[in-house]
Structure 1
């Protein structure tokens, strides 16, 4: 499915983030010269069609005081990874959780969960909660701490 001119303008106006105002869709609509309902309906249509994957907040954890960020990696039973991943992903300290293929023999981990904390001790406490939840299904785990802040952006359309 190809993008219309309006789709391109809408994506370009929102890809850097929605305006931090009480009615962000109304602000975008004003900028584009359309109604707020037009913006809402087209965004929903693009989501349904798969032209955009999601609309969501992307917090800057460092600015919120969460300076210890650890990707916890888990070697769990493949038969249970989906069920357990859903439970881990629902935990308040976990911002995202997903499964990945193992790279044996060097990398046995198949479940990943990003944990944010104010300190490494806090991340380790949260990792222990995950470990308790995984129980006997967990064979091993590790925590990989962030060492640099990377600029997080998705695909961008050019203004050409």
Structure 2
């Protein structure tokens, strides 16, 4: 594990939470740390070179942009690497992991509002061309928390949880909005005035870009502007998606309880079906497997829920932000219709 200085730890704690959207965001961060803008930028560049920081950019809300999305699990007894490769061809797949369960490939997928196939048909096609044994679509019913802040010392350290994350204003995005989102969803330049560079790419005034980003944040189109880390490089080697079978009348109680811990980065209520009974999903990060399991067992005792599973990620097949409003979505659908895969491709 890479050893981090106190300054690096403090900086990571800030940039995982919220990077200010103004003319000089790194100067603002430097003031909070009693440092200089130059030192903050230099340290961020170093943390990216060390592969501690994966990306710094806006985290846009998929639903607010009109996209339909879901968590999907495939049950694969064949060539799991081949199946993962096929899944990853879809431009709306942002995360794809092998996990310790009979349903052993887990991925998130989003499709644009004008997709010819739609979400369910897209997943069905992926399952068919991958020749998987079974699959489940587990859509979000309620979001309790989304926000990776891997800067805690104690796995039971508490976090502040907002209870209005599911309230989104209905924003009609213009072509200018889509243009701004396409450009700003890329990694932010690590310079004194990063939004000036993004404004030049958009051929718009910098102030207009900043005002739009602030508007997106205020109205839920953007969840936050923050850094995403490489978990393992940051010292969190045990990452378990813990799923709970919670009675309907206790879902919010348990969901917000789990969300209150900094070690829980994501917490959702999801749909269930005859193949999958677990309705509360909590992504938990620990420094060791023992630490994580002790935490989960303790929480199980506290909330009185005995039916749960910890699904560890054993391999990362894909992790990247979706490129919204990209032509790649439509190209993928055309290629599938034109027979991109043959039987020999699938079963080889």
TM bracket, shorter-chain basis: 0.7 to 0.9
The 3 A distance-change label for structure 1 pair 65 and 80 is same
Deviation at 1:83, TM superposition (A): 2.2
Q: How does 1:51-70 map to 2 (within 5 A)?
A: 52-57=221-226, 58-70=228-240
Q: Secondary structure of 1:87's match? A: helix
Matching residue within 296, 299, 307 for 1:140? 307
Matching residue within 218, 238, 250 for 1:80? 250
Deviation at 1:9, TM superposition (A): 3.2
Matched, 1:11 2:178: no
The question of whether the paired residues in 2 share the 8 Å contact of 1:115 and 1:126 is answered with no
For residues 192 and 265 of structure 2, the distance between their equivalents in structure 1, rounded to whole angstroms, comes to 25
> Is 140-149 or 59-68 further displaced after alignment?
59-68
Deviation at 1:42, TM superposition (A): 0.9
> Is 124-133 or 23-32 further displaced after alignment?
23-32
Matched, 1:102 2:272: yes
The question of whether the paired residues in 1 share the 8 Å contact of 2:239 and 2:312 is answered with yes
Matched, 1:126 2:126: no
Instruction: Provide, for residues 87-139 of structure 1, a one-character-per-residue CA deviation record: whole Å limited to 9, x for no partner.
Output: 211211101001112334x53311110011222112212212432342x3x14
1:152 aligns with 320
The question of whether the paired residues in 2 share the 8 Å contact of 1:12 and 1:159 is answered with no
The question of whether the paired residues in 1 share the 8 Å contact of 2:182 and 2:323 is answered with no
Aligned length: 154
Deviation at 1:152, TM superposition (A): 2.9
The question of whether the paired residues in 2 share the 8 Å contact of 1:93 and 1:126 is answered with no
Q: How does 1:26-65 map to 2 (within 5 A)?
A: 26-29=196-199, 31-32=201-202, 33-35=204-206, 37-47=207-217, 52-57=221-226, 58-65=228-235
The runs of 5 or more residues in structure 1 that have no matched partner are none
The question of whether the paired residues in 1 share the 8 Å contact of 2:258 and 2:267 is answered with yes
> Is 15-24 or 91-100 further displaced after alignment?
15-24
For residues 20 and 111 of structure 1, the distance between their equivalents in structure 2, rounded to whole angstroms, comes to 38
Q: Secondary structure of 1:147's match? A: strand
What RMSD, in angstroms, separates the aligned Cα atoms of the two structures? 2.7
Q: Secondary structure of 2:285's match? A: strand
TM-score under structure 1 length normalisation: 0.77
The runs of 5 or more residues in structure 2 that have no matched partner are 1-171, 329-348
> Is 141-150 or 60-69 further displaced after alignment?
60-69
Larger strand percent: 2
The question of whether the paired residues in 2 share the 8 Å contact of 1:76 and 1:139 is answered with no
Instruction: Provide, for residues 21-80 of structure 1, a one-character-per-residue CA deviation record: whole Å limited to 9, x for no partner.
Output: 565445534554513x42222123345566x34234333212312222100111122101
The 3 A distance-change label for structure 1 pair 126 and 155 is farther
